[in-house]
Structure 1
Amino acid sequence: MKDKKPELNTLCVHAGELRDEKYRGAISPLYMATSYAFEDVEAKRYPRYFNTPNQEALSRKIAALEHTEKALLFGSGMAAISSALMAFLHRGDHVVLQKTLYGGTFNLVTEEFHKFGIEYTFTEGWAPEDFETCIRKNTRVIFIETPSNPLLTVTDIKAVAQIASKHGLVSMLDNTFASPVNQNPADFGIDLVIHSATKYLGGHSDILAGAVAGSEEHVEKVLQFGKNFGGNLSDYTVWLLERSIKTLGLRVKAQNRNARKLARFLQKHPDVSAVYYPGLKSHPDHALAKQQMKGFGGMLSFELRDGLDARQFMKELRLIKPSMSLAGVESTISSPMLTSHALLSTEERHKQGISDGLLRFSVGIEDKKDLIKDIEQALVKVTELVG
């Protein structure tokens, strides 16, 4: 009988850890060297080659959490996304991308790909048939994001992976919003799983990082591209990220619980016109989310009723911080129009369903009662302003 694999929290703490053989400290030692010996050594180590001791150790941890063979660390989520895409796309190739994407990814494609002679198509929707109808003879990659930023649309991971496999394409998925706690795309057949590790993996709003995980064959191709474009992390940030991931399971599960409570509260509030959260039964993709997610995540979006000023609402909050990023232990809120999707034109945002009044809410680990009180007092104040 095979030994059972360690559970989530055990993996978060112990997978890939470096042992302090000399002093037997309880945590991984930090190796800050940028220059290593090249003779009589098992590996020629160099920070830009993604193979320093701390980089290798944390990569093993992320691979274990995502159920993949290998992983790589990058200096940001966009470095991870761009490296993964460019490793498999060349002049004359074509990529199919989900309509509802993070604004930075959308801008990368629309602003840069034509310079490299790479063609692209954004789907009309996110149903499986929307992807298949976009495939051409020169298509090489399908790229999806689920749940999406900021509208929390849910894409059928298994169906897209099967479509990619049938056509001999590489499938990539941005798993940032879900995290490995809530979703493991490789289990559904996705080739490369990508993270902005700045978000849930880091979880404390103090780390900028990215990650790519997949099979040894696919990750090796990303590695070769990454070596040349130099987007890897400093080892101190790697060490901080490893420290943060130790509590990933605890943090994300607490955020899941809070987000579900807050989504239900907002859905019932008369001053809120719409709530986007896959954990709500009213969400159009709720059934699909239940099939492929272990938890519904700590992210949600909502819109206030007509006449209420969303920007003024954010100014009236006292506990929840108006802030650009997401997924920290503290609750934050932002306007996609002003932050994550500011690079898109008004027409492009509205085509994706992102209204000017949409608010993206990253629910933290605070007591849910305090979060509800803060929202209630802000709604009272913003309502008073309209009489």
Structure 2
Amino acid sequence: MNRQKKGVNTICTHVGEVEDKQFKGAISPLYMTSSYAFEDVDVKRYPRYFNTPNQEALCEKIAALEHAEASLVFGSGMAAISTALMAFLQAGDHIVLQQTLYGGTYNFVVTQLEKYGITYSFTEGWKAGDFEKELRPNTKVIYIETPSNPLLTITDMKAVAQLAKKHGAVSMIDNTFASPVNQNPIDFGIDVVIHSATKYMGGHSDVCAGAVACSKEHRDLIWQSAICFGGSLSEYTVWLLERSIKTMGIRVRAQNSNAMALAAYLYKNEDVDAVYYPGLPTHADHDLAKQQMKGFGGMLSFELKAGLDASEFMKFLKLIKPSMSLAGVESTMLSPVKTSHALMSAEDRAKQGIGDGLIRFSVGIEETDDLIADIEQALEKIKSKTVLT
């Protein structure tokens, strides 16, 4: 049976397992060793070479989920992003990046690339024409993020992929917010798919990892940089991630449902000025999101109405955790200006539309009514405090 014909939950559960030949256990055994034989073996294994038994099994699972030929796993999402970029860029090259990006990616680009003689351009928007305007004869990579962090903008993957191929560039995407459950960019022609596997793949706020999925040819190029940069995972983290992915399909679909309900609730709430969620018909790119996403994801952002302090509001939450990161089974909120995009200047954040009052909401798997009740009690307290003040 073709692995790409299997359902998501089947792939999550069964593809990329290490067979326990000795004891016939139901799950992958964990090989903790960092030292393997080199004589009379088919593969000379070493953790930094991304070819231990648990690493190879996990990569097979992630590749299957992203409809890719191959995959590599890394010590963090930024390790995956930086290694993938540096594998395809060298002195004299140019890269075009989407304006709306994760702050860590933006910081890497503006603080590191010029050291290597690599130039870059950020688009004014996230339409295909915005990317085309920034192309140069030496453009080697076009980099996108959809849905974007934190404003959930939607970029046309097929249009960008076609543009990259037309100009001989490699197309890359940060697919973290969508997860492989909701979106498979390779099906739309994207060359390299990147994840912070800390997020939906891990899903329990207890691992830090990254992943890249692509063709075998591109994987081999990335591998050549990866073994030099050394961003490999510990074997235990690899094993935990493989275990966590088994429930990703179930978790993400529950988060999709909850996020849709919370976005609709917030959109109608008189204390909220704006809601950013591609599942809402009012979202500017809702129709495009429907074309390229199977589900709209568990992430949304919103802004409270003028006069209501976002930081104070989050302090009053009892169930939803004001916490860093995202995509765990527990619901969390944060202020992008203080966390994910803190390394950007206020001016650059403003260009992306990220204000001090923006709240990013990672919706978990709790009961929707409980999440709404928690938001309502926090709103009542912040309004009461605002009036009293």
Shorter-chain TM-score tier: over 0.9
Letter in 2 for 1:53: P
Find the counterpart in structure 2 of residue 290 from structure 1. 290
The RMSD of aligned alpha carbons is: 1.0
SS of residue in 1 equivalent to 2:135: coil
Find the counterpart in structure 2 of residue 184 from structure 1. 184
Find the counterpart in structure 2 of residue 222 from structure 1. 222
How far apart, CA to CA, are the structure 2 residues paired with 1:324 and 1:22?
41
Letter in 1 for 2:20: D
Find the counterpart in structure 1 of residue 248 from structure 2. 248
How far apart, CA to CA, are the structure 1 residues paired with 2:163 and 2:138?
15
| 4-13 vs 105-114, greater mean Cα deviation | 4-13
Find the counterpart in structure 2 of residue 129 from structure 1. 129
Find the counterpart in structure 2 of residue 40 from structure 1. 40
Find the counterpart in structure 2 of residue 377 from structure 1. 377
Find the counterpart in structure 1 of residue 270 from structure 2. 270
Is residue 2:21 matched to residue 1:18? no
SS of residue in 2 equivalent to 1:381: helix
TM-score w.r.t. structure 1 length? 0.99
Cα gap change, 1:34/1:144 in structure 2, threshold over 3 Å: closer, same or farther?
same
Displacement of 1:16 after TM fit? Answer: 1.0
Displacement of 1:6 after TM fit? Answer: 1.4
Cα gap change, 1:371/1:2 in structure 2, threshold over 3 Å: closer, same or farther?
closer
How far apart, CA to CA, are the structure 1 residues paired with 2:150 and 2:16?
32
Find the counterpart in structure 2 of residue 327 from structure 1. 327
Question: Which whole-Å deviations, capped at 9, do the CAs of 1:299-325 have from their partners, x for residues lacking one?
Answer: 000000000010000000000000011
Letter in 1 for 2:65: L
Letter in 1 for 2:385: L
Cα gap change, 1:383/1:77 in structure 2, threshold over 3 Å: closer, same or farther?
same
Displacement of 1:131 after TM fit? Answer: 0.4
How far apart, CA to CA, are the structure 2 residues paired with 1:323 and 1:302?
16
Find the counterpart in structure 2 of residue 171 from structure 1. 171
Find the counterpart in structure 2 of residue 314 from structure 1. 314
Is residue 2:5 matched to residue 1:5? yes
Question: Which whole-Å deviations, capped at 9, do the CAs of 1:339-379 have from their partners, x for residues lacking one?
Answer: 00000111110111001100000000000000000000000
How far apart, CA to CA, are the structure 2 residues paired with 1:144 and 1:311?
30
Displacement of 1:44 after TM fit? Answer: 0.3
Letter in 2 for 1:215: S
Contact 2:4 2:67 survives alignment (8 Å): no
SS of residue in 2 equivalent to 1:243: helix
Cα gap change, 1:203/1:123 in structure 2, threshold over 3 Å: closer, same or farther?
same
How far apart, CA to CA, are the structure 1 residues paired with 2:149 and 2:55?
28
Find the counterpart in structure 2 of residue 303 from structure 1. 303
Letter in 1 for 2:190: I
Displacement of 1:336 after TM fit? Answer: 0.1
Displacement of 1:3 after TM fit? Answer: 9.0
Find the counterpart in structure 2 of residue 155 from structure 1. 155
Find the counterpart in structure 2 of residue 106 from structure 1. 106
Letter in 2 for 1:19: E
Displacement of 1:5 after TM fit? Answer: 2.1
Question: Which whole-Å deviations, capped at 9, do the CAs of 1:35-60 have from their partners, x for residues lacking one?
Answer: 00001111000110000000000000
SS of residue in 1 equivalent to 2:201: coil
Letter in 1 for 2:333: I
How far apart, CA to CA, are the structure 2 residues paired with 1:332 and 1:274?
19
Contact 2:11 2:64 survives alignment (8 Å): yes
SS of residue in 2 equivalent to 1:386: helix
Letter in 1 for 2:317: L
Find the counterpart in structure 2 of residue 338 from structure 1. 338
How far apart, CA to CA, are the structure 2 residues paired with 1:256 and 1:7?
18
1:58-69 alignment to 2 at 5 Å?
A: 58-69=58-69
Question: Which whole-Å deviations, capped at 9, do the CAs of 1:108-137 have from their partners, x for residues lacking one?
Answer: 000111111100000000000000111101
How far apart, CA to CA, are the structure 1 residues paired with 2:4 and 2:77?
32
SS of residue in 1 equivalent to 2:136: coil
Structure 2 stretches of 5 or more lacking a match? none
Contact 2:9 2:250 survives alignment (8 Å): yes
Contact 2:65 2:180 survives alignment (8 Å): yes
Letter in 1 for 2:244: S
Letter in 2 for 1:190: I
How far apart, CA to CA, are the structure 1 residues paired with 2:177 and 2:132?
24
Is residue 2:91 matched to residue 1:78? no
Letter in 2 for 1:212: V
How far apart, CA to CA, are the structure 2 residues paired with 1:277 and 1:118?
34
Displacement of 1:386 after TM fit? Answer: 1.6
SS of residue in 1 equivalent to 2:349: helix
How far apart, CA to CA, are the structure 1 residues paired with 2:334 and 2:230?
31
How far apart, CA to CA, are the structure 2 residues paired with 1:182 and 1:82?
24
Find the counterpart in structure 2 of residue 211 from structure 1. 211
Cα gap change, 1:306/1:367 in structure 2, threshold over 3 Å: closer, same or farther?
same
Displacement of 1:385 after TM fit? Answer: 1.3
Structure 1 stretches of 5 or more lacking a match? none
How far apart, CA to CA, are the structure 2 residues paired with 1:157 and 1:208?
27
TM-score w.r.t. structure 2 length? 0.99
Cα gap change, 1:3/1:126 in structure 2, threshold over 3 Å: closer, same or farther?
closer
How far apart, CA to CA, are the structure 2 residues paired with 1:214 and 1:259?
29
